[in-house]
Amino acid sequence: MRIDLMAGASLSAAALRGAAEPTILVFDSGLGGLTVLDAVRHARPDARYVYVGDDAAFPYGRLGEAALVARVLAVMERLVAVHRPDLVVIACNTASTLVLPALRQRFATPFVGVVPPIKPAAAATRSRLVSLLATPGTVARSYTHDLIATYAGACAVTLVGSPNLAGYAEAELAGAPVDDAALAAEIAPCFVTEPDGRRTDVVCLACTHYPLLLPRLEAVAPWPVTWIDPAPAIARRVMQLIGAVPRQADGHGTALGAFTAGSCLTAPLRAALADRGISDVAVEAIPLLLQ
Ligand code: DGL
């Protein structure tokens, strides 16, 4: 199987390059995609951004594959019609590892996905013990297993499907952080020691929520490791498609936030969003109807 990381944008890059103030829609199940939004915005501050959190269906990690494909297609149908983005970033590993082919088939808009950063992890490790920390959905995907076989054949990769960490990241931003012991328990299986003394030296943050907790994860980790956040690579991929800031551009683009339920929108969360430059937040209600 050929694995084309984050590629497959269906529209020619030339059509987007140089577009004045392109509209970029960044999508996740909740708040994790903010880590990707920050990186993309840093590279292209003049663009218009729409950040959408599908909080009505959070967490995606608990949805079955057919339900997740149907949900993302249904939500995207509405978002593409309303916001008419020039490019969409699926800032969610759980969705990207499954839904990108269906999205690219359905829409002419180019999609950039986020998938587990196995390739840079394999390049960075010295002990050849790498851990992949993700949602249970991402850990189960054949896409993830194919990535490992293609890029990390020389490494022992420990897959850790965390049931709670994405929720803990949401709580952190909403002003209700969990304690260190809860975080430590969630990441403990990532830290492996072999009888020959080798130990895990690289952990892939294969869920966009996790970098929101990075300083706390570093503080509770049993030993220092390299944590790999794919956000800068995603920003580079977006720049390849839309080009750098045009010379004539001045100032900063706008950033609108939209949530499909809005129940996560506490006052501390609104403040955290405003700190990240999203002060205009709307509820775009799209309830989750599970069969
Ligand atoms: N942020 C999402 C990801 O990158 C997942 C969180 C969820 O389970 O909804 O996988």
* pLDDT given for residue 290 in this prediction: 67
| Domain end call among 184, 200, 229 | 229
Contacts by residues 41-44 (CB-CB < 8 Å, ≥ 24 positions apart) = 41/255, 41/277, 42/235, 43/235, 43/236, 43/238, 43/239, 43/244, 44/235, 44/238, 44/239, 44/242, 44/244, 44/245, 44/253
Of the residues 204, 229, 254, which one is the last residue of a structural domain? 229
Active site (annotated) includes residue 207: yes
3 confidence band (pLDDT: 50, 70, 90): very low
Residues contacting 182, CB < 8 A, separation 6+: 164, 168
Whether residues 239 and 153 fall in one domain: no
Residues 42, 44, 47, CA angle at the centre, nearest 5°? 125
Pair 108, 238 in one domain: yes
Residues with beta carbon inside 6 Å of ligand 1? 28-30, 32, 58-61, 92-94, 135, 138, 166, 207-209
Determine the pLDDT at residue 15. Answer: 56
Note whether 50 and 95 are same-domain residues. Answer: yes
- Tell me, in angstroms, the distance from the centre of ligand 1 to residue 196's CA: 35
| Positive/negative CA dihedral, 96, 137, 37, 25 | positive
For residue 61, the ligand 1 atom closest to its alpha carbon is 8
Counting from 1 in the atom list of ligand 1, the atom nearest the Cα of 208 is 4
Interhelix angle 65-83/93-106, rounded to 10 degrees, is 60
Looking at the fold, whether 206 and 239 belong to one and the same domain comes out as no
Q: Locate 165 and state its tokens.
A: 């960490």
> Quick one: pLDDT at residue 112?
98
Residue 60 is assigned to a structural domain of this protein: yes
Distance from residue 129's CA to the centre of ligand 1 (Å): 24
Mean pLDDT over 117-146 rounds to 98
What's the domain count of the chain?
2
pLDDT band at 246 (very low <50, low <70, confident <90, very high): confident
* Domain enclosing residue 223, as ranges: 118-229
Please tell me whether residues 250 and 218 are part of one structural domain.
no
- Whether the pLDDT of residue 86 is over 70: the answer is yes
Q: Residues 157, 246: one domain?
A: no
pLDDT above 60 for 272: yes
Is pLDDT above 80 for 263? yes
63 CA distance to ligand 1 middle (Å): 11
Domain-located, residue 9: no
Sign of CA dihedral 119, 124, 125, 126: positive
Residue 17: pLDDT band with limits 50, 70, 90: low
Average pLDDT, the chain: 92
Among 208, 213, 260, 264, name the best residue to mutate to test ligand 1's pocket (greatest count of ligand atoms within 8 A of Cβ).
Answer: 208
Average pLDDT on 106-125 reads: 98
Catalytic residue check, 155: no
| Within-domain flag for 5 | no
| Inside any domain, residue 171 | yes
Q: Are residues 209 and 250 in the same domain?
A: no
pLDDT, average across residues 235-262: 88
Same domain, residue pair 135 and 107 = no
**What is the per-residue pLDDT for 10?**
39
pLDDT tens for 140-194 read: 999 999 999 999 999 999 999 999 999 999 999 999 999 999 999 999 999 999 9
Q: Choose which residue among 135, 141, 234 to substitute to test ligand 1 binding: the one with the highest number of ligand atoms within 8 A of its C-beta.
A: 135
Pair (239, 278) in one structural domain: yes
- Cβ-based neighbours of 186, under 8 Å, separated by 6 or more: 162, 164, 165, 168
Q: How confident is the model at residue 269 (pLDDT cuts 50, 70, 90)?
A: very high
Asked whether residue 33 is assigned to any structural domain, the reply reads yes
Residues 6+ positions from 235 with CB-CB distance below 8 Å: 36, 39, 40, 42, 43, 44
Tell me the average pLDDT across 279-291: 87
Residue 265 located in a structural domain: yes
> Does 64 share its domain with 193?
no
- Is the pLDDT reported for residue 34 higher than 50? yes
Task: Kindly report the CATH number assigned to the domain that includes residue 278.
Answer: 3.40.50.1860
Whether residue 127 is predicted with pLDDT greater than 90 in this model: the reply is yes
Please report the pLDDT score of residue 2 as a whole number: 38
Could you tell me if 200 and 258 lie in one domain? no
Is the pLDDT confidence value at 19 over 70? no
Is residue 157 located within the same domain as residue 223? yes
C-beta neighbour count of 170 within 10 angstroms: 22
